[in-house]
Structure 1
Amino acid sequence: MAQPGADHGLAAVLAEPLQGFIRYLSSEKRHAAHTCKSYQDDILRFGQWAIETESCRAWADLTTHHLRRYVAALSRAGLGGRSIARHLSAIRRFYDYLLREHLAKDNPVIDVRAPKAARRLPRVADVDQLSQLLDATPDDPLEARDLCMFELLYSSGLRLSELSNLDLTSIDRRGGEVRVLGKGSKERVLPVGRRALEALARWLDLRPQLAVSNEPALFVSRRGERLSNRSIQSRLRRWGVKNGADQRLHPHLLRHSFASHMLESSGDLRAVQELLGHADISTTQIYTHLDFQHLAKVYDQSHPRARRVRSKPDGSKS
């Protein structure tokens, strides 16, 4: 990795501490080379700005006021909230190192925050299209397993990791429930729909053909061992392509679709929060935006006073 120095526009008094920081990340923290380079690039950019804009001669000279000016400069340069947050994280960690080495008296980044990033709305699948995909008939035991997995993802709103970690003992077929271990090792019990239970019964009849002896995993690979997250993602994409999905299928699409469709039908945000295992209801509220978008689209298409005026072939208005 190239060392920061005069060729990067940094004077030795700035470049030497940065070199020490990169060595610290590489040797003591065992960070990968590309991670070290990312830190180096972000701090170099900050250092060059500090020299050119603030006539900086030492890292210790920079204050919270300078950092806020730098955030504004990054924003003017077109960087989004996530990118700015990454820059600040790198600089914050660099100053922690400088404090450790007694090259700074405080960390000027502590009280500086990046602008809030615009929250992307998750994509969801249409109810009718999902029904068509889940009604497809499996051709072999592996596809029967796949269909069972996808039914569970959509029926119960599972995360990918929650699905792959399911054991035979996680399912209560009589009670129609599945027990999952979510984020933060929090356990929750979720209802399983009738169609998912039917797919589960078919898979459990076929599972002994694949599973190795004493394998606890509910879903196993061709080799008889627990199916990996990557394999589940790959099989879902394959299922979508084979059955004519008009968008790329992935586990979170089914989870998002579960949440959106549940909220659209029930309007019960707290219940959907519990089903998804969200610690904060603000995370669940993203689906209210999706629901509003759907309602707004229906309104625009249906309400006579909301329809756009369209021109007739003769140029008059309809």
Structure 2
Amino acid sequence: MLLTKLIINFEFHCKYEKNLSEKTLNAYSIDLNQFIEYKNFKYLKILEIDKHLIKEYIGNLYAFNLKAKTIKRKIAVIKAFFNYLDYEDIIDINPFNKLKIAIKEPIRLPKTIELRDVKKLLSYLYKIKINFKEKQSYAYKALVRDIVIIELLFSTGVRVSELSNILDQDIDINIGIIKIKGKGDKERIIQVCDFEVKKLLKEYYKLFYEDINKIHFFLVNRLGNKISEQSIRLMINKYEKTVFTSKHLTPHMFRHSFATLLLEEGVDIRYIQNMLGHSSISTTEIYTKVNLKHQRKILKSKHPRKNFEFLK
């Protein structure tokens, strides 16, 4: 059987049996198409694909100077495809069983936003809001929405994709509970506990009530549609250029800051793992490496060297 037909079956399996998200399905499709286009693999029968051809393809990925994380993901998709074929008894021997692939990813510390910069940004936006004269204008409504977005990013640590896709039924603005649908359609609950943020959410809901009830997404753009991830990025970029001269902010940096600041306050890492929606604690542990402020506080106050007095 040709690879193209089998990939169609695999994509059906991923969509309807594994219930993978649209974003994941698109990524799978891109990686699988790249694989079968390499040296016209699509014209080969599945039994002609052995470990030597797969090793050649992996070597070709390195030739494009792709990041280790990207190469690792592409290999994982191909491996998942062959595991599916093996499970369905379409192939007798899974070529990945004979392959030992170890890709070492460089440890990249997450970039965070200093707490003083978050305060500076929010202070700037709230000042505009308080002094805004035409509170019936769309410009005012958009400002309130923008503040809501930044407050939620910082208050909850949600991914920008999760924030964009919050449904009206998933948020209780009175008590501040939000149901987040994360990667792999895993759901978690995040609470907004700050009184001022909950007050802002109520004002936003009142301003956008009609649009929200039409599309049933909580965050709405100028056209009355769900706000996109890219629109959120561009909005943050706009305020970043106004408030700061040489800082670059992204939605994900608010997520990193959320985790790091909670660690600095002594919150157990497993609670943070749950709030971020990480399936593995090892993913959350990266934040312990950037927690330098808390480390300095501990070493300065707890290290026994501070009690040495022979030089005093």
TM-score bracket for this pair, using the shorter chain length: 0.5 to 0.7
Normalised by the length of structure 1, the TM-score is 0.63
Q: 1:237 to 1:192 in 2, by over 3 A?
A: farther
Q: Which residue of 1 aligns with 2:310?
A: none
**Structure 2 counterpart of 1:271, which letter?**
Y
Structure 2 match to 1:202: 203
Distance in 2 between the 1:90 and 1:163 partners?
Answer: 27
Report the Cα offset of residue 187 of structure 1.
Answer: 3.3
Deviations 1:43-62 (A, max 9, x none): 99xxxxxxxxxxxxx97695
How far the C-alpha of 1:163 sits from its partner, in A, is 1.5
CA contact (8 A) 1:153 1:251 kept: yes
158 and 299 in structure 1: CA distance in 2 versus 1, 3 angstrom threshold: same
Give the structure 2 partner of residue 314 of structure 1.
Answer: none
Residue number in structure 2 paired with 1:109:
96
The Cα of 1:173 is off from its aligned counterpart by: 3.6
Seen in structure 2, the aligned counterparts of structure 1 residues 71 and 193 have a Cα distance that, compared at 3 Å, is: same
State the partner residue of 1:134.
122
Change (3 A) 1:38 1:105: closer
* Structure 2 letter corresponding to 1:123: K
Corresponding position: 1:119 with 2:107: yes
Structure 2 vs 1, CA of residues 193 and 72 (structure 1 numbering), >3 Å: closer, same or farther? same
2:232 counterpart letter in structure 1: I
Q: CA deviation at 1:253?
A: 1.1
Q: Do the aligned residues in 1 keep the contact of 2:153 with 2:159 (CA within 8 Å)?
A: yes
Q: Who wins on radius of gyration, i.e. which is larger?
A: 1
- Per the alignment, in what secondary structure is the counterpart of residue 131 of structure 1? helix
- The structure where helix makes up a greater share of residues is 2
Amino-acid identity (%): 28
Q: Contact 1:178–1:192 at 8 Å: present in 2 too?
A: no
Corresponding residue number in structure 2 for 1:190? 191
C-alpha contact (below 8 Å) 1:81/1:114 kept by paired residues: no
Q: Which has the higher contact order (CA 8 A, sep 6+)?
A: 2
Pairs aligned (count): 265
Q: Distance in 2 between matches of 1:92 and 1:177?
A: 39
**Is the 1:188–1:277 Cα contact (8 Å) retained in structure 2?**
no
Q: TM-score, normalised by structure 2?
A: 0.64
Looking at structure 2, the residues matched to 292 and 235 of structure 1 have their Cα atoms a distance apart, in angstroms, of: 30
- Please list every run of 5 or more consecutive structure 1 residues that lacks an aligned counterpart in the other structure: 1-19, 45-57, 306-318
Match of 2:277 in 1: 277
Other structure's SS at 1:179 match: strand
RMSD: 4.7
